[in-house]
A and B are shown apart, each in its own frame.
Chain A
Amino acid sequence: AQSVTQLDSQVPVFEEAPVELRCNYSSSVSVYLFWYVQYPNQGLQLLLKYLSGSTLVKSINGFEAEFNKSQTSFHLRKPSVHISDTAEYFCAASRGNRDDKIIFGKGTRLHILP
């Protein structure tokens, strides 16, 4: 069965410092990978996705994630965080058929320290 693991429930980091949010997936078949962000009291917004092609994918607000098949990982990184990045970040995976469900990890709360 497909599963997504986010080992860190909370990550505190100082403003302007780099951050990495870890995500590992288990799947015996090809997989599509996503990062969603949930700002306080809001819904889920797609941050970035990996479907195929280049293993490094980037968002418009400076986040990037790299698909690593050998390590079954899809870690999210940002070189310099801002206070506005405070949110819950969910890694998710899908088997890749158009009507397949997305399986979410438990989420990582990014807490930016001033």
Chain B
Amino acid sequence: EPEVTQTPSHQVTQMGQEVILRCVPISNHLYFYWYRQILGQKVEFLVSFYNNEISEKSEIFDDQFSVERPDGSNFTLKIRSTKLEDSAMYFCASGGDDYGYTFGSGTRLTVV
């Protein structure tokens, strides 16, 4: 069963530091997404990415956030200057023609 891989599984960072969360989507998928889940809350959409550009972004995805697909296989989410409220589980997802939206296991980001 193909899967979406996210690294690291857990990252602790100091407030104000930059973090990069990494994802390897399923190889033949074309649509990529980042979501986040603050502890105990719902899963929230951050951004979708297709054809090397952002398709849609939520109001959460402000100038502190950016996404990149640097080498055709990885899909990264960068947070430039982390805040305490960025602490959450971040999920990467990829989608193909079957509308399957496969999610990774997530990266738990803790900002201290």
B45: chain A residues within 8 A (beta carbon): 101-103
Identify 10 residue pairs between A and B in the complex whose beta-carbon atoms are under 8 Å apart, listed by A's number: A36-B103, A43-B91, A44-B91, A46-B100, A49-B99, A90-B42, A90-B43, A98-B30, A102-B33, A105-B42
B103: chain A residues within 8 A (beta carbon): 36, 43-46
Q: Report the tally of A-B residue pairs with Cβ distances under 8 A.
A: 62
| Complex contact B56–A98 (CB within 8 A) | no
Q: Which of A44, A49, A96, A98 contacts B31 (CB 8 A)?
A: A98
Mostly helix, strand, loop or mixed at chain B's interface? strand
Is B71 at the interface (CB under 8 A from chain A)? no
Mostly helix, strand, loop or mixed at chain A's interface? loop
- Of the listed residues B35, B43, B48, the one surrounded by the most CB atoms of chain A closer than 10 A to its CB is B43
* Mask: chain A, 71-114; 1 = CB below 8 Å from B; 0 = not: 00000000000000000001010101011111111110000000
User: In the complex, how many angstroms separate the beta carbon of A36 from the nearest chain B beta carbon?
Assistant: 7
Is A7 at the interface (CB under 8 A from chain B)? no
Is B104 at the interface (CB under 8 A from chain A)? yes
Nearest 5 CB-CB pairs, A to B? Answer: A43-B105, A44-B103, A104-B43, A101-B45, A106-B42
CB-CB under 8 A for A102 and B105, given A44-B91, A90-B43: no
* Mask: chain B, 32-66; 1 = CB below 8 Å from A; 0 = not: 01010000011111001010000110100000000
Name the residue on A nearest B51 (C-beta): A99
A51: chain B residues within 8 A (beta carbon): 99
| Complex contact A104–B95 (CB within 8 A) | no
A96: chain B residues within 8 A (beta carbon): 99
Name the residue on A nearest B4 (C-beta): A43
